[in-house]
Amino acid sequence: MLLAVDTSGMQGSIAIFDGSVLVFERILGTFGTRHAQTLPAEVADALANCHLQPSDIRSVAVSIGPGSFTGLRVGLTFAKTFAWLNDAKLVAVDTLRAIAQQVPPDIEFVTAIVDAQRAEFFAATYRWNTELGLRFAIDEVHLASADDLPTEYPIVGPAGNKLKAAAADRFDVLDESLWQPHATSVGRIGLHMLDEQQFSDPDSLEPVYIRLSYAEEKRRDSNS
């Protein structure tokens, strides 16, 4: 059994897989600091709904960013603790890849973006692999302005509105229903990572921020 957790965006979500079969999914609603307290209860309720004990979960897949600083910390702290307490395998899933995974397979290439603030985006481009039913990155997650983003591929992600406002005529932004990452996509990617033995160490795994938040940069500058 695999537990998938996504807290990287405005909405949190959890999912449970039995092998490759999705047996439970739940959107947690608008995500925020309070979910540090409510996420464990949501997972406990999900397990109860599936008649499972925590020890029945043998692996945990968690989105590690880029995304919301607070959300990523909440989800990753929970996933690391849960995996450690239950001696479960832990896999860390690129959030942009999880977003791209939700795009229909007839679109071969897609660029996923999230808001990086300061007129920039976190971005990466992914290609559909028909044999595996998964998307794989063709470049690294990076910071990009609207001028830096590729125009030859459709765009998807929660920063879609920001991109439309910046350059409405230059990009093919996919439907808003595909923008938010979901734990189901995190889980499907996580299952493949488990097969490839791409495990993470709960003691050392950290979120992918790409850069510090504005508040952290200000605090660092004031202490330097």
Instruction: Mark whether 125 and 148 lie in a shared domain.
Output: yes
Please give the Cα distance from 200 to 163 (Å, whole number): 33
pLDDT score, position 35 = 60
Output phi, psi for 199, to 5 deg.
Answer: -85, 155
Instruction: Mark whether 164 and 68 lie in a shared domain.
Output: no
Instruction: Mark whether 27 and 122 lie in a shared domain.
Output: no
Last residue of some domain: 142, 163, 178?
178
Please give the Cα distance from 70 to 83 (Å, whole number): 20
Instruction: Mark whether 133 and 170 lie in a shared domain.
Output: yes
- Residue located via tokens 């909405």: 11
Instruction: Mark whether 131 and 205 lie in a shared domain.
Output: no
The domain that holds 15 is classified in CATH as: 3.30.420.40
Characterize 180-210 residue by residue with b for buried, 16 or more Cβ atoms within 10 angstroms of its Cβ, and e for exposed.
Answer: bbbbbbbbbbbbbbbeeeeebebeebebbbe
Instruction: Mark whether 137 and 65 lie in a shared domain.
Output: no
Output phi, psi for 97, to 5 deg.
Answer: -65, -40
Please give the Cα distance from 131 to 87 (Å, whole number): 32
pLDDT score, position 36 = 64
CB 25 within 8 A of CB 14: yes
CB 95 within 8 A of CB 181: yes
pLDDT score, position 189 = 98
CB 98 within 8 A of CB 182: yes
Instruction: Mark whether 77 and 186 lie in a shared domain.
Output: yes
Instruction: Mark whether 69 and 146 lie in a shared domain.
Output: no
Tell me the residue range of the domain where 78 lies.
Answer: 2-95+180-223
Instruction: Mark whether 61 and 80 lie in a shared domain.
Output: yes
Number of domains in the chain: 2
In a structure prediction context, what are the per-residue pLDDT tens digits for the chain, which is 224 residues long?
A: 999 999 998 889 999 999 999 999 999 876 555 566 789 999 999 999 999 999 999 999 999 999 888 889 999 999 999 999 999 999 999 999 999 999 999 999 999 999 998 889 999 999 999 999 999 999 999 999 999 999 999 999 999 999 988 887 899 999 999 999 999 999 999 999 999 999 999 888 988 887 544 444 444 444 44
Q: Which of 65, 63, 43 is nearest to 54 (CA)?
A: 43
pLDDT score, position 223 = 46
Instruction: Mark whether 32 and 61 lie in a shared domain.
Output: yes
Instruction: Mark whether 89 and 197 lie in a shared domain.
Output: yes
Instruction: Mark whether 197 and 217 lie in a shared domain.
Output: yes
